[in-house]
């Protein structure tokens, strides 16, 4: 049931150094059709604009590219998160309890009280009617807890006010601890098992409900439900410890043991801007901070300087290494407690076995090009060794030789607003879904930079909300992420008539009208019943605009980042199941990356770029030859990146193997050995890059999922979208066979149906071999 919460935390789609590998997992819904006849459903939410389609798209662009346009649209005088005496606050995400940090304790208490009430109703279920509601009640239990946990998880990572983030963190930890106790609740397990094994009860379940119930049952069993009481208590303690250590590891910025390097004489910084060298020159000694490593590795000619900076940038404090190793050992202990050989065995089947053998030759060919460049530039008469600190420098050198003229910049065609506008236009073509700017109320968001979008389906009306927190600010995490704040579920057949939204009864909300967050649910055109609509946040760290009325211009990689994260968001918007536990991105970890990686392919499509990529000043369309040149540059040395991905996936597996139970377990030594045997570059003494591998918490034992997703997405792109990436027929097929199911359908069936390939539907070893064969054809 809630077992997957442990691995959900920090499943962030961090997007740096080729790391892009999200979800709150928990508890399903039984549909009793006879109960709907007497209900009065509210009118469907449909957002409409008097503007024409073209003007509407232009308005969408401007609210991201022009601060004055956004503030004018909201008419809030910049008081986005004010809770002063003169400004009434709606509360974060329009939850009036969250007008202050103290509101998180109130929300936590209400969630616990309601959760305990639901647990009791499941525990004492006796009649057939009550037993038929067990899976539905488990799903509501999950929703009650995740309605606070998911929101708290986001706020603790994003809110600029430390009091808010600390209060959110306390709520998160307290509720996760309670969820861990539910994982080992034998009464809940016995009732669920009885329900599934009793035909007169289970025969009334829909296929989706059976799927969800089986997920719950497996999660109970993975959580050691069969253990004696004392060992179940130990399971809870270990699980709590994993969460605490994981948060400490993932949320603490890497502390480098070496903070700066000295370069003497300063002239050895040749390759950098002369004015910069002059500015850092102190009596012929230049002192460089470690956070300048990217610039040094790419441009400085002197190899020793690059080496010194590489070692400094990848140095680590002993305390952070100890935290990581304590986390890995605790995971291993948890696995051993439930009878598993390793933590990896708790989650993984044998997958991606053939990938290293398929990609390594391509990576070696790319490395030879860099090696030749180093040999030429250093005037060496014998073959040279290519080291990690050489990669960026000689990549730039080879690139300069590959293009007779410097590449014209492409970023003027990619303002943030243009890209959001383009995504809306693309989704309109593919799925009949578009974005519409939505007003925010005072206190609704955590920073004035945040924009809000309504997601509107041409037939169903409003289907969800996306908050966009895209620009850099001090203290903000640098990596891109998709957060689920609330996911879809059907609510009109709950076991009581009270909302899962934890709000106070004595708040005056009249000035905010009827806030959607507090409705029992909304009617969606074409569906029976009332639904809770999904709410997600996209967070990036793009450069701030140079002025209020100038846009931020994105690089090719940053456009890919935004497309990738929006792929997750659309999975949440379209995968609106009846069950909280399988809605949107709540699906198997090695399947969740498919929709987002597929979106990256659209960035490389000239047909897609031509519908939105216009120069931010002249509005001229992007030249075709510029697209082709940047595509070529972007794909250069891609095989090396893939090989590094393979190293990280293997490292993740080794860290979560039985090695973690040995007295000599040493994460630095394991990394060095792996780099020397599989990596494209030899290991470097006195470095500990592993502390920067944040996915070791959120993607523990599952980092391979990104490589797996690349293969699946590449095949789907080639077979469905490549010929016509704007095809509505292709979009509807992907929506119908993959996106709309969320996690309620077997992923192999989703992919096999989309590809019309019955051979892989079984998801067995033969299926994996077939997927392995796809690699060479992509």
With beta carbons less than 8 A apart as the criterion, state whether 575 and 584 touch.
yes
Rounded CA-CA distance 179/191 in Å is: 18
Q: Which residue has the higher pLDDT, 396 or 192?
A: 192
Nearest-10 Cα torsion for 602, 603, 605, 607: 90
List for the chain the helix, strand, coil content (%; round to 5). Answer: 55, 10, 35
Handedness of CA 575, 577, 581, 582 (dihedral sign): negative
C-alpha 409/C-alpha 184 separation (Å) is 57
The pLDDT tens digits for 181-233 are 999 999 999 999 999 999 999 999 999 999 999 999 988 998 999 999 999 99
Give Cα 496 to chain centroid, integer Å. 33
Please say if the pLDDT value at position 637 is more than 90: no
Quick check: 23 pLDDT over 90? no
Per-residue model confidence (pLDDT) at position 404: 57
- CATH no., domain 344-405+624-777: 1.10.1370.10
Count CB-CB contacts under 10 A for residue 407: 14
More confident residue, 41 or 191: 191
For the chain, percent of residues with pLDDT exceeding 90: 65
The pLDDT score that the predictor gives to residue 488 is 95
CA dist 364 and 374 (Å) reads 15
Strand partners, 19: 16
DSSP per-residue letters across 678-733: TSSS---TT--GGGG-THHHHTTTTTHHHHHHHHHHHHHIIIIISS-TT-HHHHHH
pLDDT recorded at residue 87: 67
Per-residue pLDDT, 715: 97
If pLDDT is split at 50, 70 and 90, which confidence band does 546 have? confident
Asked if residue 471 has pLDDT above 90, the reply is yes
Q: Is the pLDDT of residue 651 over 60?
A: yes
The predicted structure's pLDDT at residue 544: 93
The per-residue pLDDT for range 674-723, each reduced to its tens digit, is: 999 888 999 999 999 999 998 898 888 888 888 889 999 999 999 999 99
Is 565 annotated in the active site? yes
- Average pLDDT over the chain, rounded to an integer: 85
Q: Do the domains 53-85+413-609 and 344-405+624-777 sit in the same CATH topology, yes or no?
A: no
* Annotated active-site residue in 565, 593, 600, 737: 565
Q: Where are the domains of the chain?
A: 53-85+413-609, 260-313, 344-405+624-777
Does the domain at 53-85+413-609 match CATH 3.40.390.10? Answer given as: yes
Q: What is the mean pLDDT of residues 750-765?
A: 93
* Integer Cα distance of 560 and 604 in angstroms: 9
Q: Sign of the CA dihedral 213, 216, 217, 218?
A: positive
Contacts with 320 (C-beta within 8 Å, 6 or more apart), sequence order: 249, 252, 254, 255, 691
pLDDT band at 363; cut points 50, 70, 90: low
Helix, strand or coil for residue 402? helix
Question: What pTM was computed for the model?
Answer: 0.85
Q: Is pLDDT at 37 greater than 80 in this prediction?
A: no
Q: DSSP letters along 177-231, please? A: HHHHHHHT-HHHHHHHHHHHH-HHHHTTS-HHHHHHHHHHHHHHHHTTTTS-HHH
* pLDDT for 362: 56
CA distance 103 to 202: 40
């Amino acid at each position: 049931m809630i077992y997957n919460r442990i691995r959900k935390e920090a499943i962030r789609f961090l997007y740096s150094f080729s790391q892009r590998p999200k979800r709150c997992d928990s508890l399903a819904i039984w549909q009793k059709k006879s109960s709907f006849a007497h209900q009065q459903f509210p009118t469907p939410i449909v957002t409409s604009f008097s503007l024409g389609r073209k003007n509407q798209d232009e308005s969408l662009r401007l609210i991201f590219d022009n601060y004055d346009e956004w503030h004018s649209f909201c008419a809030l005088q910049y008081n986005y998160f004010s809770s002063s005496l003169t400004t009434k606050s709606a509360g974060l995400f329009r939850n009036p309890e969250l007008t202050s940090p103290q509101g998180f304790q109130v929300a936590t208490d209400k969630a616990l009280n309601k959760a305990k009430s639901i647990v009791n109703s499941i525990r004492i279920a006796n009649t057939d009617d009550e037993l038929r509601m067990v899976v539905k009640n488990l799903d509501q239990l999950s929703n009650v807890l995740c309605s606070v946990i998911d929101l708290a998880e986001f706020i603790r990572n994003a809110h600029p006010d430390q009091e808010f983030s600390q209060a959110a963190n306390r709520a998160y930890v307290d509720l996760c601890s309670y969820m861990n106790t539910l994982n080992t609740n034998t009464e809940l397990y016995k009732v669920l098992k009885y329900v599934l094994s009793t035909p007169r009860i289970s025969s009334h379940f829909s296929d989706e409900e059976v799927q969800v119930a089986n997920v719950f049952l497996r999660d109970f069993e993975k959580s050691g439900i069969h253990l004696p009481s004392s060992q179940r208590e130990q399971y809870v303690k270990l699980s709590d410890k994993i969460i605490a250590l994981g948060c400490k590891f993932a949320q603490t910025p890497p502390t480098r043991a070496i903070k700066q390097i000295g370069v003497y004489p300063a002239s050895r910084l040749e390759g950098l801007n002369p004015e910069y060298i002059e500015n850092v020159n102190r009596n012929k000694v230049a002192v460089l901070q470690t956070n300048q490593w990217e610039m040094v590795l790419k441009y400085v000619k002197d190899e020793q300087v690059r080496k010194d900076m590489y070692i400094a940038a990848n140095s680590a404090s002993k305390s952070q290494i100890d935290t990581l190793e304590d986390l890995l050992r605790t995971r291993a202990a948890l696995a051993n407690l439930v009878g598993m050989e390793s933590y990896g065995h708790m989650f993984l089947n044998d997958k991606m076995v053939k990938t290293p053998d398929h990609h390594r030759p391509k990576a070696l060919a790319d490395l030879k090009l860099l090696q030749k460049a180093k040999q030429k530039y250093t005037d060496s008469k014998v073959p040279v060794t290519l080291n990690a600190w050489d990669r960026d420098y000689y990549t730039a050198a080879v690139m300069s030789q590959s293009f007779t003229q410097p590449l014209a910049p492409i970023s003027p065609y990619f303002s943030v607003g243009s890209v959001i506008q383009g995504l809306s236009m693309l989704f309109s073509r593919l799925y009949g879904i578009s974005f519409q700017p939505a007003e925010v109320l005072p206190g609704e968001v955590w920073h004035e930079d945040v924009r809000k979008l309504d997601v509107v389906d041409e037939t169903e009306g409003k289907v969800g909300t996306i908050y966009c927190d895209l620009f850099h600010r001090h203290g903000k995490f640098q990596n891109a992420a998709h957060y689920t704040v609330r996911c879809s579920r059907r609510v009109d057949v709950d076991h009581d008539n009270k909302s899962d939204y934890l709000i106070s009864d004595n708040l005056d909300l009249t000035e905010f009208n009827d806030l959607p967050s507090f409705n029992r649910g909304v009617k969606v055109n074409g569906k029976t019943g009332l639904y809770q609509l999904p709410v997600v946040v996209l967070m990036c760290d793009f450069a701030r605009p140079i002025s209020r009325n100038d846009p931020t211009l994105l690089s090719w990689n940053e456009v890919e980042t935004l497309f990738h994260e929006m792929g997750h968001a659309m999975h949440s918007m379209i995968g609106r199941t009846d069950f909280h536990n399988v809605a949107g991105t709540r699906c198997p970890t090695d399947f969740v990356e498919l929709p987002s990686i597929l979106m990256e392919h659209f960035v490389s499509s000239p047909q897609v770029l031509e519908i939105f990529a216009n120069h931010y000043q002249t509005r001229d369309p992007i030249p075709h030859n510029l697209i082709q040149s940047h595509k070529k540059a972007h794909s250069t040395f891609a095989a090396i990146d893939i090989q590094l991905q393979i190293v990280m996936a293997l490292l993740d597996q080794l860290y979560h193997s039985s090695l973690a139970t040995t007295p000599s377990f040493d994460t630095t030594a394991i990394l060095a050995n792996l780099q020397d045997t599989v990596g494209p570059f030899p290991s470097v003494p006195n470095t500990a890059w592993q502390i920067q591998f944040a996915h070791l918490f959120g993607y523990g034992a599952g980092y391979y999922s990104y490589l797996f997703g690349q293969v699946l997405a590449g095949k789907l792109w080639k077979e469905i979208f490549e010929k016509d990436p704007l095809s509505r027929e292709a979009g509807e097929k992907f929506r119908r066979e993959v996106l709309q199911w969320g996690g309620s359908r077997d992923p192999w069936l989703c992919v096999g149906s989309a590809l019309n390939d019955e051979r892989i539907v079984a998801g067995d070893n033969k299926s994996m071999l077939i997927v392995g064969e796809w690699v060479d054809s992509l």
